[in-house]
A and B are shown apart, each in its own frame.
Chain A
Amino acid sequence: MKNCLEVNIRRKIFPGADVAAVEGLMLSALPGEFVAIVGPSGAGKSTLLNLVAGLDREMDGDIQVDGQPLHADGLMRVRLGFVFQEPRLMPWLTVIDNLMLVLENSTDSVERVRHLLREVGLSDIEQSFPNQLSGGMQRRVSLVRAFVMRPELLLMDEPFLSLDAPTAARLRLLLLTLWGELHPTVLFVTHQLREALALADRVLFLSSSPGRVVLEVPVQLPRPRELGDASIGELHDRLLVQYPELLSGLVEEEKQQSASEIPDSDNRLPSSR
Chain B
Amino acid sequence: MLRVRETWLRGLSLLAFLVIWQLAAMAVNKPLLPAPTVVLTTLWNDLTEGSLLYHLGITLARVAVSFLIAMALGTALGIVMGRYRDVDAALDSLLVLALNIPALVTIILCYIWFGLTETAAVTAVALNKIPTVVVTVREGARAVDRQLMEVAGVYRVSMRRTFVQVYLPQLYPYLMAAARSGLALIWKIVLVVELLGRSNGVGFQLGTFFQFFDITGILAYTFAFAAVVLVAEAILIRPLERHLTRWRP
Residues of chain A touching chain B, judged by Cβ–Cβ distance below 8 Å, are 53-55, 76, 80-82, 84, 86, 88, 90-93, 97, 101-102, 104-105, 129-132, 145, 149
Contacts and interface: CB of A to CB of B under 8 A. Distances in A.
Contacts of B147: 84, 86, 88
Nearest to B249: A131
A153 to B, nearest CB: 11
Given A90-B148, A104-B161, A80 B154 contact: yes
Given A101-B161, A104-B161, A88 B148 contact: yes
A80 B156 CA distance: 9
Nearest to A85: B147
B156 A105 contact: yes
B98 interface: no
Nearest to B170: A92
A53 B169 CA distance: 25
B249 A76 contact: no
A84 B161 contact: no
B170 to A, nearest CB: 8
Interface of B: 147-148, 150-158, 161, 165-166, 169, 172, 244, 246-249
B249 A88 contact: no
A219 to B, nearest CB: 27
A129 B247 contact: yes
Contact of A82 (B155, B158, B247): B155
A70 B176 CA distance: 42
A93 B151 contact: no
Contact of B150 (A55, A90, A93): A55
Nearest to B244: A92
22 contacts: A54-B153, A55-B150, A55-B154, A76-B156, A88-B150, A88-B151, A90-B148, A90-B166, A90-B169, A91-B248, A93-B165, A97-B165, A101-B155, A101-B161, A101-B165, A101-B166, A102-B156, A104-B157, A104-B158, A130-B247, A131-B247, A145-B155
